[in-house]
Amino acid sequence: MKNNVPTILSPGSRPRLYKCRFAARKRYISTTPLRPTSLPPPAPSSGFAHLSNRALISIHGQDAAHYLQGLTTANIKTSPSSSSSQSGFYSAFLNAQGRVLHDVFVYPSHHAAELRGESHGEPSFLIDVDKAHADTLRAHLKRYKLRAKIRFRVVDSGERDVWATWGGDDGAVGNTANIGSQDVGCTDTRAPDMGQRVITYAGGKPTISSGEETPVESYDIRRILKGVPQGQSEILSGEALPQESNIDYMGGIDFRKGCYVGQELTIRTHHTGVVRKRILPVQLYSIEDEKPPDTLQYNPQSLFELPLGVQNISRVNTRGRSAGKWLTGVGNIGLALCRLETMTDVRLTEEGSQWSPEHEFKMSWHSEGDEERQLKIKAFVPDWHRNRPTVRDMHRQPND
């Protein structure tokens, strides 16, 4: 029988063997897509979009409000009379280490229990979550159920649809004109002029006085330009911190509520007042371009080849620690987790920052053919970030 045990290689041949194995592994794990042949158009100033990438979880029972109060970052009114009158709101589920598991919208609604003729005399909620992670959230809810008198399930796609509406008077903060009597929804307060979230019965559409139906991809362009991350491809599950993901800025955290899973680190970070990284909108430009863009603008003609998944961002012609992480994008725009004092002019402490207007940044990755790809990247701080009071300002005494 032939001996298949390999012979011992000489020291000089080992590097070639290891290099070959490593190169093959790099080709195997490459995450680079093909170069796009076309891009979605920008969203109109007024319109609505079916968010087919979102799913719903129905939860109801006499303990539903108290149960969610102990799991989510937003404050939920637990008395039966107040919970039924509370409008929908943005929130998040965290793990015990204070990392984001899911960013969600929560809608108090008696309609949640009516979907299958279930009893509707109890507190009921619909949870709007990333569709790819709906089963994961359901498992998280089940983990903490214990003896709570609640029932929950993932709503079938043929029962309800999730929509976003924006523009005109219908999108004004506090305006609920697009939400019909049989629908559920709320004002989307994550950023100025985000409009509304509306949940209709399957096949229905939100009522809107003007505008046109728009693909979800165009809605995502509008959302990215405003610097609003959404879903677990942008807010990485089990890794992202709520403040770094702007969940505090987007109104998803009540820092005055009682204990909930993940609260300790979240509160401590809030009171230190220093969040050194945040998700920001970014614009891509060619590595050959000498001048970075002055304004953030989507160009549907920019057919850049983009990487799939997270990529490190570094300074051009400089070695050092990562300046940030690329998360997702379309065309020449995207979202990235950026070190504020490195990639922007934001100053967090009196020590000064490392930023300079002459600094440029890039991301590098390998294509399917193991060729290196590079794009320059510039971060933009939205006005709604800059106009927010700091933690120090909020706690400052009137005579200080």
Kindly report the pTM of this predicted structure: 0.84
Judge whether 91 and 106 are in contact, CB under 8 Å: yes
Q: How long a stretch of residues is the chain?
A: 400
Run of H or E residues at 80: helix 80-85
* β 100-108/89-94 pair status: antiparallel
- Residue 100, pLDDT score: 98
Query: What DSSP string runs through 264-327?
Result: HHHHHHHHHT---EEEEEEEEE-TT-SS--SS----TT------SS-EEEEETT--SS--EEEE
Contacts of 232 (CB under 8 A, 6+ apart): 102, 103, 130, 132, 133
CA of residue 207 relative to chain centroid, distance? 27
d(CA 127, CA 81): 20
Using CA atoms, how far residue 328 sits from 91, 180, 311, 337, in Å, is 21, 34, 9, 10
Tokens 């690329």, residue located? 326
CA of residue 232 relative to chain centroid, distance? 6
d(CA 205, CA 48): 9
d(CA 255, CA 243): 12
Tokens 């509304």, residue located? 196
Supply the DSSP symbol for 86: P
d(CA 145, CA 387): 40
Run of H or E residues at 277: strand 277-285
- Residue 6, pLDDT score: 43
β-bridge mates for residue 365, sequence order: 373
Contacts of 2 (CB under 8 A, 6+ apart): none
Contacts of 110 (CB under 8 A, 6+ apart): 84, 120, 124
pLDDT by position in tens, the chain (length 400): 444 444 434 444 434 433 333 333 333 334 445 566 789 999 999 999 999 999 999 999 999 999 999 999 999 987 665 555 568 999 999 999 999 999 999 999 765 555 555 555 788 999 999 999 999 999 999 999 988 899 999 999 889 999 999 986 544 444 445 555 557 889 999 999 999 999 998 888 888 767 889 999 999 999 999 999 999 999 999 999 999 999 999 999 999 988 999 999 999 989 887 899 999 999 999 999 878 999 999 999 998 989 888 999 999 988 878 999 999 999 999 999 999 999 999 988 877 778 888 999 999 998 777 788 999 999 999 999 998 765 444 444 444 4
Helix (H, G, I), strand (E, B) or coil at 375: strand
| Tokens (6 digits) for 354 | 């490392």
